[in-house]
Structure 1
């Protein structure tokens, strides 16, 4: 299992679907932490000069070197001991791209919810969120967003919003810093995005729970307006923590290059760097008539972040060129690859950037209507939808073919 943009764990090697496949085939299960995340930081700090070694190419080469190391130190016969790599989300990209670049090293890959087609601006993310939440729920969100912006027109309204959404620092009258406003909207809209992306995984609220709150119209503690209900949802999502929206404070943290800084320990400085330097994938509300507010999260906000955190060289032209290079190197929607299973769920907004149809007889796509991001990689549960159970069985059959 190739870990992605966070500290590695042993979940997938011990309890996830890969662990069951390993048991089925009598295989050793290993989880490999990604360079520059968790304990795998090879430099003294995470300066921009050092972060230049944080690339997809280097992560793929790390995997190749690790397999060589394992073959040697575990005395594995490379001609008879076959490797399969797994990944989910960004690491799903790595799993597919590793098979593409190192087909002589691994017999096959499973790429779950892998957004292999890089884009500078991902407007389709919130379109997918809206589709997953449904018309009634989305209409309530649209009205809640309208009410919020109406409140921001007056000093009294700004004060009310600061209190309603438990902002860590109050909004400054009508002279609200635009970057802080965008930062606030990213956090306030996150509850909807996470609901669609993970749909009720442990520790998250799913689509049904979020929409039950947003569409409740009875005049009780839920709130009598869409804005009130959004505020209740936000409080539940943030678990009572205040919303830290101040842009300058967030940039200050993200500019901290120490291994012990909060953003580095959480992997945020590293992941933002990968987005600015190679992948893009900036989730915006830039589409006209977006129910989340067309100007709530513009592309310009993310571009400014890249410059403010990493330097003026990370211009829009630089980012677009980097995204184009990534697609040119790895093939975008059509990677030149064999022996890969791409899995996606319709509820997951990220499926729009993945492979949804078979590319060739050995590179198959499994599309599930009732599941979300990386669901097939998780431990089986009694209440799993049948198509998720069927997908895991289909993956197992493909693995058997890869291992022949």
Structure 2
């Protein structure tokens, strides 16, 4: 217990020292910038004393205001850049809350049609979500928690098996490579180097997965804030909509409203449809893995369902954990897992996707892949999940801009 307290105390002290260093850095940068501005200002004034009137640098009130606003803007940019990590950590819960509010909002609107106030509609939905969470907490969540714990306990053993597998390959083929002619002497070095890189990559991947999982639990404050923000976004939707529209200049307000309507129409069915399809794929994957007696079936099924939201790459990402676990158990099981996931994806693409999601977002596959690559590189998993909706929204905005330019 004392060790845990000492670790937490050290973590808090380390974080406070980090913030102190950041704020000191910001303060010093601003001081240096202001010192540079005032130096230029006084050099201009001193220079004006020694030149004729027509050659003096004159600054009227308008230019002084512009310069002052520019200085304030530059200072704000410096502050945002230096404090970007803190700002991002604050904005992430708000962005997730906006996404959840957008998904739940149609249900609130339907309840309002039955003469139930918006506040009570949101409260009833929240009670329903809490009840569902309670049901899951006594049925599914303990099983998933047990599987995560079991996976964490067996992960070192799996890692050792993987390393041993590659070592066996290296030992098995080392003699054959060693007997190659001298012209191919570089093949042995390249082969061993390639195997070492694969081992390092797998170990680093496992470490990253573990660290990401721990980071989720370390950001508990942000996780708690998401439902609170979502509640207020749902309850006061009209207020936020009204304030946002007032912030838009009247000249382009009508165009902004039309763009918003088109984006909402485009994403409305797509996002909710994708979530339903992902849930069905997760359920089918879990059932298939349970039938094949694969360990951690519920956890792998959940991963397959979530990954299915990502176009093209999602099914492959979702299948990898199941195939890997099956391969470490019995190689023949891995083949059956591949067959099962392939069959589920055929059902998803031929039946579920057309019936539930309907038409695509109107993007060519090349642009979908590019948006996924860019989103994944910039924002990781979140970027992969939101890349296609964002790209589709950008397409809508660009189409409207073209229409406005043609109209002008």
TM class by smaller structure: under 0.3
As a proportion of its length, which structure holds more strand? 1
Larger Rg computed on CA atoms = 2
As a proportion of its length, which structure holds more helix? 2
Question: Normalization by structure 2: what TM-score?
Answer: 0.21
Question: Normalization by structure 1: what TM-score?
Answer: 0.22
Larger RCO (alpha carbons 8 Å, 6+ apart)? 1
